[in-house]
Amino acid sequence: MQELLSISSFIILYGVSYGVVLFTISIGLVVMMGLMRVINLAHGAFAALGGYVAASLMNQLSIPFFIAVPLAVVGVALFSVIVERLFYVHLYTATDLDQVLLTVGLAFVAVAGLNFIFGPNVFPARLPEILTFNINFGIRQFQAYRLFLIVDGAVLFVILWYVFDRTGFGARLRAAVDNRTMAQAIGINVPKLFSIVFALGSGLAALGGAIGFAILPLEPLYPFKYLVIVLIVVSLSGFGSIKSAAAVAIFIGVVDTGCRYLFPGIGAFIIYAILISLIIHKHTGIVVRRRA
Amino acid sequence: MKFQSELLERHRFRPIEAVYWVLLVMAVFVFSDYLAIAATVVIMCLFALSLDLVLGFAGIVTLGHAAYFGVGAYTASLLALGGLHEAITGATLAGLTAAAVALVLGPFVLLLDGLPLIMVTMAIGAIFYEAANKASWLTGGDDGLRGFDFAPLLGIFQWSIYGYTAYLYSLSWLFVLFLLTRRVVGSPFGVALQGIRENRARMRLIGAPVVGHLVRAYVLSAFIAGIAGAIYAQINQFVSLEVLSIDTSVDVVVMLVLGGIGQLYGGLIGAPVYVLVKHFAAQWNPYNWMFIIGALLIVAVRFGRGGLLGFLSTATEWLLRHWRKPTGGAP
Amino acid sequence: MTGSALETSNLCKSFGALKVADNISLRLAQGARHALIGPNGAGKTTLVQLLSGVLRPDAGKISLMGEDITLSSQRHRVKRGLVRTFQVTSLFRGLTVLENVFLATSEHSGVSRQMIRAAGAHRELLSWTETIIEQLGLADDMHRKIAEIAYGRQRLVEIAIALSLEPKILLLDEPAAGIPTKEVSILLDAVEHLPNDITILMIEHDMHVVRRFATKVTVLVNGAVLLSGSPHDVMSSGEVRTVYLGQSGHARFASGADDA
């Protein structure tokens, strides 16, 4: 019994904290896909960049973790605006294939760039002392870091929910997601909104990469390594829905952790199989992507 | 009776095509020291051709096509290890196996479109990879399979380390399957695929069995990809997990796009370029080729309508126009 | 029930509180030339969507040549001979007229399953395709791209594609919409020459078109049938004029001031 509690609490805590990182990275893409209908396969690059910049700030300039992370987020968000104006504007009316190809190209360039700047090995990054302590729950000991992630996720969720559901900005955003031409017709500056959302989404990805570097280690291939799982979260969430994205991310985090722990041989398998069936189940029928 | 219809005239041979095939045959003499890599290039051309059928002509965006390449490769290897030393039969059977897999998966996968389709194809590719990894009793896992060889081709041509047989074997397969693909693309079925690619909903409204047509294209494409994989294993006498990796799936998409999709020769031009760039750039630094290819992709999407082929044809048109001008008007 | 090509009884459809189809009962005889008119928002397009299978009715029945197709799929209805055209053209703009129609004829005849013989070599199919195109007076445009031909002629290609499916019942959804007045006669000639064994239900606003084409007219208002009868009866009905033109318009029309 003790054993069972220990294992399940491990799976839940680790799974949920992993899910939180996934949520943070993916939510930006969920909103972007909902609003701009762009398949952005380079999204992971912003997450990687966030992690790398935060880690560099900590290593080179000895800036503490809790300051380095926000700085990295803001930096990457600003950088993303440049990228958006240069490349993504052209994708808003492009075909699926073109979007996939251009963003894959960007991802390739990003990987080469990361390697060039930061080297091919896993980038050294250490958590601040305060998060490495183990907290004893009686059943098991857990790293404070994991709890930090969960608390973070909850706070982020509340903030995002509030912004989307309760503010004017959120209302305009939801309107534009729902029907772009109509939104433009009533005076919402859609291109500006796109840029803001893109920066927001990329900033959130950077946040995920920065706080999650202990779970998802930083290396040049990061954008591709976690691409598949991020895309899985996105395609199972309703486009633009924060609640379902959170639910899906947590679910995947827990299932993934659980499967790897309980069925080490075929863990990955089960995930992919479940996910394929869910996607087919959810998307079968005529999926209409409104190009409003 | 010649129709002024490009769509209905796809089957017609253009003289300039002969140039391509002659070049490929001449490579035997010109690149006799590099026949190993030349054979790999030819195999990738075939793989890219198979992808063109689904991506360029049917509009199915898949990032998991390596699954069929890999199934073909492993099937051919296992058949050889099991005693089948006739290469052509082995390759054909491998292709049929890959086609069978596509026949099972197709009807479900092809109900999807857009991002969900991309996702599922990636996930299927990943599942096959994992399966092969775990089933190391069958696939040799990380070490792969080796130690199989083949009887002389058609009883006459010996397999040598110089690679002539291997190269000409691959080239023959490419030629034959190219002709087949060309026929299919020029048939009413090929025309219907084009319609599906342009406007799926519209095709449904005229009563077209869209998914049925797509499955056919998918199965045929898997057959060709499977043969490509089989040849790959046969001439290298070795197969390992990389044939099933997502890298391979992405590679072949990039190859095709660089060359130009939906033009039959796109993959046949893009593959050599890609393989050679990767080969030479990688020797310098493993990440450099990524940068070059990434940049090429971005340029291709932003500016290149039709990849290298499109670029070549517009360039040729431009040249011809400016060439003719001086001799045009009265002196 | 016997003898009618297409028939609906008490067809109902609502979107929330909005009733778009209110107990519609309609009967099309074989070979009929039937027009459906009504002010904007009357539910004409909704009715066409219900008939073609894009929408499912909340209540009521639809039968095609005696067969109950109320719940059948779109594809099934097309196979049974119920074909519609569209209000907004959605042809393959980059392809020629011949290629567009060929897609339909090849699909309908099953030739699209052929994978080996070249498309251009299917002589019989091509001549049938050309015949349809000629039937609609489009022979000159056969090898021109859709994007390059006049809008009125694009609408004719729509009808050509519909004919490729060998319809028994043709639903023409505002075929004259958007066509410049001088091109409308081309359309009318083509429609007049459509085979007599095809039953046609046309939705139209343009009264000239209706008067020339229809032998029977049904008026739809707010989702319900107001009146059904010969064109003359319908147009001289006070109720109909009021609905269309308002009280003052009624007087003007009665004096014949607007007739061309």
- Kindly list the structural domains of chain A, giving each domain's residue range(s) and its CATH number in brackets, ordered by start: 2-283 (1.10.3470)
Closest residue by Cα to residue C225 from C208, C243, C213: C243
Q: Of B5, B202, B208, which has the smallest distance from its Cβ to C98's Cβ?
A: B5
Q: What's the whole-number average pLDDT of chain C?
A: 83
What is the count of residue pairs from B and C with beta carbons less than 8 Å apart? Answer: 105
Contacts of residue B314, defined as CB under 8 A and 6 or more positions apart, other chains included, come to none
AA identity, residue A74: V
CB contact under 8 A, B291 and A96: no
- What is the average per-residue pLDDT within C214-239? 86
CB contact under 8 A, B130 and A272: yes
Tokens of C223: 């989702």
Tokens 């990061």 belong to residue:
A222
The DSSP bridge partners found for residue C169 are: C82, C199
CB contact under 8 A, B287 and A87: no
Tell me what pLDDT residue B326 has: 55
Residue B135 touches chain A, beta carbons under 8 Å: no
Tell me what pLDDT residue C89 has: 63
Q: Residue A290: pLDDT band by 50, 70, 90 thresholds?
A: very low
CB contact under 8 A, B8 and C79: no
- What is the average per-residue pLDDT within A42-71? 92
Tell me what pLDDT residue A272 has: 80
Tell me what pLDDT residue B74 has: 95
Q: What's the whole-number average pLDDT of chain A?
A: 84
Tell me what pLDDT residue A139 has: 64
Task: Strand C216-221: give its sheet, edge to edge.
Answer: C82-84, C169-173, C199-203, C33-37, C216-221, C224-229
Q: Residue B304: pLDDT band by 50, 70, 90 thresholds?
A: low
Tell me what pLDDT residue B91 has: 94
Q: Are B72 and B95 in contact (CB under 8 A)?
A: yes
- B186/A275 Cα distance (integer angstroms): 37
Q: Are B288 and B282 in contact (CB under 8 A)?
A: yes
Tokens of A107: 């991802």
The DSSP bridge partners found for residue B238 are: B146
Q: How far is A117 from chain B (nearest CA, A)?
A: 12
Whether the predicted pLDDT of C27 surpasses 70: yes
Tell me what pLDDT residue C251 has: 47
Q: Residue B325: pLDDT band by 50, 70, 90 thresholds?
A: low
DSSP H helical ranges for chain B: 16-30, 35-51, 66-81, 87-109, 114-134, 136-139, 164-186, 188-198, 200-205, 210-236, 246-259, 266-284, 288-302, 307-328
Whether the predicted pLDDT of A212 surpasses 80: yes
Instruction: Note the pLDDT tens digit of each residue in C149-195.
Output: 888 888 888 888 888 888 999 998 888 887 887 777 878 888 888 88
Whether the predicted pLDDT of B300 surpasses 90: no
Tell me what pLDDT residue B147 has: 82
CB contact under 8 A, B112 and A87: no
Q: Residue C88: pLDDT band by 50, 70, 90 thresholds?
A: low
Extract the runs of DSSP E, i.e. beta strands, from C153-260. 169-173, 199-203, 216-221, 224-229
- Residues 75 to 104 of A: which have CB under 8 A from any B CB? 87, 90, 94, 96-98, 100-102, 104
Tell me what pLDDT residue C94 has: 81
State yes or no: ipTM above 0.90. Answer: no
Q: Residue C245: pLDDT band by 50, 70, 90 thresholds?
A: low
Chains C and A touch (3+ CB pairs under 8 A): no
Q: How far is B216 from chain A (nearest CA, A)?
A: 19
Q: Could you say which DSSP state residue C193 is in?
A: T
Top-confidence range, B26-30, B92-96, B322-326: B92-96
Q: What number of CA atoms fall less than 13 Å from residue A50's CA on the CB side? A: 34
Q: Are C103 and B191 in contact (CB under 8 A)?
A: yes
Who has greater pLDDT, C132 or C243?
Answer: C132
Q: Of A33, A234, A284, which has the smallest distance from its Cβ to B111's Cβ?
A: A284
Contacts of residue C203, defined as CB under 8 A and 6 or more positions apart, other chains included, come to C35, C36, C37, C44, C45, C48, C171, C172, C173, C174
CB contact under 8 A, B207 and C99: no
Residue B25 touches chain A, beta carbons under 8 Å: no
Q: Of C90, C103, C116, which has the smallest distance from its Cβ to B192's Cβ?
A: C103
Tell me what pLDDT residue A26 has: 93
Q: How, if at all, do strands C67-68 and C4-15 pair?
A: unpaired
Residue B216 touches chain C, beta carbons under 8 Å: yes
CB contact under 8 A, B287 and A111: yes
CB contact under 8 A, C120 and B9: yes
Whether the predicted pLDDT of A128 surpasses 90: no
**Mutation to test the C interface, candidates B8, B181, B218, B305, most C Cβ within 10 Å:** B8
Tell me what pLDDT residue A54 has: 93
Neighbours of chain A (3+ CB pairs under 8 A): B
**Mutation to test the A interface, candidates B61, B117, B290, most A Cβ within 10 Å:** B290
- A12/C138 Cα distance (integer angstroms): 69
- C157/C138 Cα distance (integer angstroms): 8
Q: Residue C1: pLDDT band by 50, 70, 90 thresholds?
A: very low
Residue A229 touches chain B, beta carbons under 8 Å: no
Q: Of B114, B123, B134, which has the smallest distance from its Cβ to A287's Cβ?
A: B114
Tell me what pLDDT residue B216 has: 95
Tokens of A71: 């700085």
CB contact under 8 A, A112 and B296: no
- DSSP result, A32-55: HHHHH----TTHHHHHHHHHHHHH
Tell me what pLDDT residue B55 has: 93
Domains detected in chain C: 4-229 (3.40.50.300)
Who has greater pLDDT, A267 or B278?
Answer: B278
Least-confidence region, from A51-65, A221-235, B184-198: A221-235
Whether the predicted pLDDT of C14 surpasses 80: yes
3-class secondary-structure state, position B30: helix
Percent helix, strand and coil across chain C, each rounded to 5? 40, 25, 35
Cα separation values, C56 from B201, C7, C224, Å: 18, 16, 17
CB contact under 8 A, B291 and A113: yes
What is the phi-psi region of residue A144: left when phi exceeds 0, alpha when psi lies from -120 to 50, beta otherwise?
alpha
3-class secondary-structure state, position A174: helix
Q: Residue A237: pLDDT band by 50, 70, 90 thresholds?
A: confident
Q: Which residues of chain A are within 8 Å of residue B302 when distances are taken between CB atoms?
A: 87, 90, 102
**Mutation to test the B interface, candidates A225, A283, A286, A290, most B Cβ within 10 Å:** A283
pLDDT above 70: percentage of residues in chain A: 94
H-run or E-run covering A134 = strand A134-136
Tell me what pLDDT residue B62 has: 93
Q: Residue C122: pLDDT band by 50, 70, 90 thresholds?
A: confident
Q: pTM for the whole thing?
A: 0.83
Tokens of C147: 């994007």
Q: Which residues of chain A are within 8 Å of residue B131 when distances are taken between CB atoms?
A: 269
